[in-house]
Every structure is written in structure tokens, then in C-alpha cells.
Structure 1
Amino acid sequence: MSWFSKHIFSRLGFGGNDAERVVEQLERIRAAMLDTLGDEGARKYPLVVRRVFHSKDAQALWYARGELMAALADLHGERVAHQRMSELSHMFDGLLPKSLLPRRTRLRG
């Protein structure tokens, strides 16, 4: 982890192992988002790939979900896109303020 990353995470209240855990969790989220898009999606939506790849923190990745959702809906349909986004959303637990996390509701099918 770079000095800058350590500094930023320590300012956010994450120290030592916590900061490393956060960075690892962010990388898992980033990889999952790109995997969800797949090769076809990456070719068709390079701007989504770029946004996910260059997102610096959990909030930036969280907000990139909107573009990813639109791409997935185009590629696979709304139902599949919602399922995949729901799986990704759980990965953000502990990284964001509760006000940004989705409420747990049941969708009527």
C-alpha cells in the first residue's frame, strides 16, 4: 500500500491492518464489478470499465454502479442486472455510511 493510501485511510479512521483490509476489499469489489460486466460488456462499454478501474474509494465505486447497471440491463435484461447488482451491493457492507446502502426490501416478481 502506498504512503498516500495509508495517509488517507488513517485520516478516515482506519489504521494499519484496517487500512489494508479496506484496500483489499475495494480491489475485490472492483474485480467483481469488472467480472460481472464480462468481456463482451467491456468491449461494448469501455467507459464503464474505465470508471470502475479508476475509482479511488468505496463511494466512487458505489456511484459507478448506476452505469454498470445500465450496461448489464442492456446486455442481459433488467432482471439479471438487478440480481447481479444485488450481489455486488453486499460487498460494500462496512465501507459506506448506512445512508448510502440500499434498504432491504422484497421486490414483487
Structure 2
Amino acid sequence: MEQQNGINKHDLKLWAYARSSSPRPGVLIRQMQGLLADAERNHWTVVGTSQDMSTGRTLARMGLREVQRAVRQGIANGILVEDVGRLSHEYSTALRVLEFLQDHSAVLICT
């Protein structure tokens, strides 16, 4: 069995998270559809979804807060994103999210 951070890949409870700075909602919708399709193809369990229309420069984002709440409460043990840039294009901001995941023994899966 393949494991990551001590989590068996079949025990993953993923939260799908999409973020885009585009003012067009269709961009976020397509991003989320892609995440959910990848999850289905890989037989991953998605326990929730959230998204943000923002630049990603700050951690003060409603959708990201939903992700963190789900991880803190044990609802999710991983985040599913298109790429690390969906967390943030700024290194220090992305690093803070990755540290949060590590502190909670959660994984990041990029499609």
C-alpha cells in the first residue's frame, strides 16, 4: 500500500480547493470540475469543496479558511489543488499553508 505522511492513499479524505484571481466565475468552475474529475479517476474521496476569487497574497480567504477548519476538525486529511500556485504564488504564503498541513499530518495533492 502506498503511504504518504503515514496516511494510506485509500484513507485519504480530501478537500478540493480552487483559487483564481480571474474575475470570471467560469475559471473557478472549470478548475473545480477538473479537480473533481481527477478525484473520481483516482478513486479519491472528496469530503468538501471551497474556492476563492482572489490573488492569494493573504491567508485571509474564506475558502482557504474552510479548508483549514476541515483539516483542524479531522474532516479532511488532505487538500486537492490544481497546483501549489492555487495556495499562493508568493513563497512565504504558500509555505505557511504547507506548514499548517505538516502540523496537522495532512497531505497536499496537486493534479
Q: TM-score, normalised by structure 1?
A: 0.32
The structure with the largest strand share of the pair is: 2
TM-score, scaled relative to structure 2: 0.31
Rg (Cα) greater in structure: 1
